[in-house]
Amino acid sequence: MIASQDESIYDVFMNLIPDNIIAATFSTHYTALVPIDSHNLTLGYKKLAKKAFKPNMLGLCVFSLILGFAVKQLDPKADTIRRVLVETNDI
């Protein structure tokens, strides 16, 4: 069975609003279809909201933006962090 468009939109919104910005970079919410009876698949499936621990691009982008703004605001204090990020980018 394939999840409906409404569930896909719900999954996107669940991933847009993270509970924890650090955890959001490593987890993704999705709707899983689980058989009601594993021995008799003709009974149908039920939908469950689940969380997978795999990299989430949206979370990584938001975390990168927040880190960039923090480094920009801490201008002289974050000079070491900025140099590490520039050198890592060059590598």
Residue 22, pLDDT score? 66
Residue predicted with more confidence, 5 or 72: 72
Residue 61's contacts (CB-CB under 8 Å, 6 or more residues apart) are none
pLDDT in tens, 9-38: 777 776 666 666 666 667 777 788 888 888
In a domain, 45, yes or no: yes
In a domain, 1, yes or no: no
Q: Which domain holds residue 83?
A: 9-90
Pick from 8, 12, 56, 13: which is nearest to 33 by CA? Answer: 8
Confidence of residue 3 (pLDDT cuts 50, 70, 90): low
> How far is residue 36's CA from residue 26's CA, in Å, rounded to a whole number?
29
Structure tokens at 49: 């909201």
Place of tokens 């621990």: 53
Number of separate domains in the chain: 1
In a domain, 2, yes or no: no
pLDDT in tens, 52-83: 777 777 777 877 888 888 888 887 777 887 78
